[in-house]
Amino acid sequence: MQTVVSSKGQLVLPAEIRRADHIEPGQRFEVERKEAGIYLLTRVAPKPNAGFVDWLRSCPETDWFQSIPSESTDTL
């Protein structure tokens, strides 16, 4: 498959690849230059618990989840 670099330097992954590998908008990738003309594109795994707070907040019951202030060393 081929793709084209846009005027903004962006590459579009063909839809067939995105569907086959379940690639969703917003997912991050790392690009590594192996040598002139050869590049490696690797999907970056999300951090464990990424989206966990959003998932809790999506509960249909309202007001059961309350955010608490983060503890910081700035106040010590």
- Sign for the pseudo-dihedral over CA of 57, 61, 62, 68: negative
The residue type of 55 is W
In the chain, what are the domain boundaries? Answer: 15-63
Cβ atoms of 3 and 11 within 8 Å: the answer is: yes
Structure pTM? 0.55
Residue count (the chain): 76
Q: What is the pLDDT along the chain (76 residues), one digit of tens a residue?
A: 889 999 999 999 999 999 999 999 989 999 999 999 999 999 998 777 777 777 777 777 766 666 677 776 666 5
